[in-house]
Chains A and B, each alone.
Chain A
């Protein structure tokens, strides 16, 4: 896996939007940051396995 493929701000942003939409209510930005870290981690793990 190449680390350069995971880029903060680009990778997983669409998934982040989906999570925010699913939440329905306004959320704290720290909550959003945590979700984003989890999305990035999942992507990194997937690419590592590939």
Chain B
């Protein structure tokens, strides 16, 4: 490649200058066009002296002459120990780059020198603020906030007009005319405050007295205030509070690590301390360990399931929680509906022993029903709740509790599902224990232990016994009741034990899938027909059954309380109590019942349905 540079001098000088430039250009073939190419004069002389074959002195003179003749192309720089030739590949003589900063952003910030008049500023940017949604405060009348007994001062003008219809003399204390129309305020009233629940508190009393008398109501009102604070300035976890902005956050990666630790490494609910130490790497001896623990618990509420109890803050993932005590045969929605009556005011579990007496005793006894035994569940009645730990946080859906069977040295994990919305509460996960050690009708005792999340469950032991008992035979399309021999050694209530003699006629009744058992009326009618003694006529068939028998039979199908059954019977248009001493009920059911001459159970159930 040749250059287009105008070399000057004699023909020999021009040719030599061109050769020198070409050598330097080849040396810097990867340089930028404007980059300086720098080479020492000594090296150039020795290079050309070797090639031209002449005397080095004469070659030096020729090179210096050529360079001097082309000073517009070759610049020279002299240092202490050498002389350098500098050029560029295209432009010849090197000129340092000068950057044009005339239009840089920094400079343009000051342009124009005379800014636009304020009237025209809208041309440059908009002065209209974007619409930001604001939370409008909800104003509540002071009447409702302070109640009708409010101590507010009210002028007569503010008072409603009252028409006086009596002839009684006007009392002296009514002020008429231009005199000040102000009611005097009792100084004691000025020191009163009304809680949103309508409770009036005298602030003149010492704080400990107020807290002793109204502590729960004040705390409940304060929780409401904190929850309603639109800026969410107070962080709450259980009974602990902190300023939200002082509570540390956890990165998405840390949350992912915690999830992975719970699901894949431990595969069980994990305590907050365990997570802090093994995932977040905070030593339990750290000065701020408690603060970190609060932060972890508060922040995890958004991402994980809290399944702990007071004194044992346990965390699980939704996926893991769904597996704890899970029974594939019963859906949570069905189960929630089957125990809903407990939340509707029909829980009679504390009619005999009050919650206080159960709590004082620390244990509760229960006769296991067939339904509970079959599906490994227990309804969360008030009696059972009295010995179980309470939810720690607001709207806690579940808690994971360990049940120990001291007499069998055996323990298992139970999922306590707290009542929520349109569903009742229950405990699930007893399947294996119930079916391996107990039978329906067994008397069990559930009691608290010193550990907050550990509960004891025991049963009365008896001599070995073998009975033919009811079981569900699961079919591919539909299930049915059958009887099978079982050996057991627990104390049982013989009226509840599902033997052939007690419940044999159940096979006269259709099986009722779980989803169908929500309709208690239909179940009651079916039991009247299947088990009741016939009364009435063929045209108007009536069936009679004792209340306790009806109740025991219903407990085969679902969870039910005596109060709820009584309510259903009273509400049923065709049911009536015919003998209160014997608890005999009668029901008119317009259902065709297959006549069966025998009660042997060899017949085909298909015909029944």
In angstroms, Cα B294 to Cα A2, docked, is 40
Cβ of B502 within 8 Å of any chain A Cβ, yes or no, is no
Cβ of B291 within 8 Å of any chain A Cβ, yes or no, is yes
Give the size of the chain A interface in residues (CB under 8 angstroms): 31
Q: From DSSP, what is the main secondary structure of chain A's interface residues?
A: helix
Closest A residue to B293 by CB, please name it. Answer: A26
B219-A25 in contact (CB<8A): no
- Give every chain A residue within 8 A of B193 (Cβ-Cβ): 3, 6, 8, 40, 44
A26-B240 in contact (CB<8A): yes
B218-A21 in contact (CB<8A): no
Q: Nearest Cβ in chain B — how far from A22, in angstroms?
A: 10
Given A1-B185, A26-B290, A40-B203, verify A17-B150 contact (CB < 8 Å). Answer: no
Cβ of B242 within 8 Å of any chain A Cβ, yes or no, is yes
A20-B224 in contact (CB<8A): no
Closest B residue to A9 by CB, please name it. Answer: B225
- Give every chain A residue within 8 A of B228 (Cβ-Cβ): 9
Given A3-B152, A26-B294, verify A48-B190 contact (CB < 8 Å). Answer: yes
Given A7-B145, A8-B193, verify A27-B203 contact (CB < 8 Å). Answer: no
Closest B residue to A28 by CB, please name it. Answer: B239
Given A9-B228, A41-B203, verify A20-B190 contact (CB < 8 Å). Answer: no
Within 8 A of A (CB), among B267-294: 290-291, 294
B192-A3 in contact (CB<8A): yes
A1-33: CB near B (< 8 Å → 1, else 0) gives 111101111000100010011001111111011
Closest B residue to A18 by CB, please name it. Answer: B243
Interface centre among B201, B222, B290 (most CB of A within 10 A): B222
Closest B residue to A13 by CB, please name it. Answer: B225
Give the size of the chain B interface in residues (CB under 8 angstroms): 46
Q: Nearest Cβ in chain A — how far from B154, in angstroms?
A: 10
Cβ of B333 within 8 Å of any chain A Cβ, yes or no, is no
In angstroms, Cα B243 to Cα A25, docked, is 9
Q: Nearest Cβ in chain B — how far from A44, in angstroms?
A: 5
A3-B146 in contact (CB<8A): yes
Q: Nearest Cβ in chain B — how far from A4, in angstroms?
A: 4
Interface centre among A2, A24, A40 (most CB of B within 10 A): A2
A8-B194 in contact (CB<8A): yes
| Interchain CB contact (< 8 A) of B223 among A2, A25, A29, A40 | A29
In angstroms, Cα B240 to Cα A27, docked, is 5
B200-236: CB near A (< 8 Å → 1, else 0) gives 0101100100110001001101111100110001101
Given A29-B241, A48-B190, verify A4-B150 contact (CB < 8 Å). Answer: yes
Q: Nearest Cβ in chain B — how far from A39, in angstroms?
A: 10
Q: Nearest Cβ in chain A — how far from B56, in angstroms?
A: 85
In angstroms, Cα B185 to Cα A4, docked, is 12
B241-A26 in contact (CB<8A): yes
| Interchain CB contact (< 8 A) of A30 among B194, B215, B246 | B215
Closest A residue to B237 by CB, please name it. Answer: A26
Within 8 A of A (CB), among B496-533: none
- Give every chain A residue within 8 A of B90 (Cβ-Cβ): none
Q: Nearest Cβ in chain A — how far from B162, in angstroms?
A: 23
In angstroms, Cα B188 to Cα A1, docked, is 11
- Give every chain B residue within 8 A of A44 (Cβ-Cβ): 190-191, 193, 203
In angstroms, Cα B189 to Cα A30, docked, is 25
- Give every chain B residue within 8 A of A29 (Cβ-Cβ): 219, 222-223, 236, 239-241
Cβ of B196 within 8 Å of any chain A Cβ, yes or no, is yes
In angstroms, Cα B218 to Cα A9, docked, is 10
Given A9-B221, A37-B207, verify A3-B241 contact (CB < 8 Å). Answer: no
Taking Cβ atoms with an 8 Å cutoff, the residues of A that contact B are: 1-4, 6-9, 13, 17, 20-21, 24-30, 32-34, 36-38, 40-41, 44-45, 47-48
Closest 5 CB pairs of A and B: A3-B151, A9-B225, A26-B242, A26-B294, A41-B203
Cross-chain pairs A/B with CB under 8 angstroms, 18 sampled: A7-B145, A17-B234, A20-B234, A21-B246, A24-B246, A25-B291, A26-B291, A27-B241, A28-B240, A28-B241, A30-B211, A32-B241, A33-B211, A33-B222, A34-B207, A37-B210, A44-B193, A44-B203
Additional pairs, 13, CB under 8 Å, beyond known A27-B241, A29-B219, A33-B219: A4-B142, A4-B150, A7-B145, A8-B225, A9-B225, A9-B228, A26-B240, A26-B242, A26-B291, A28-B241, A30-B211, A34-B207, A44-B193
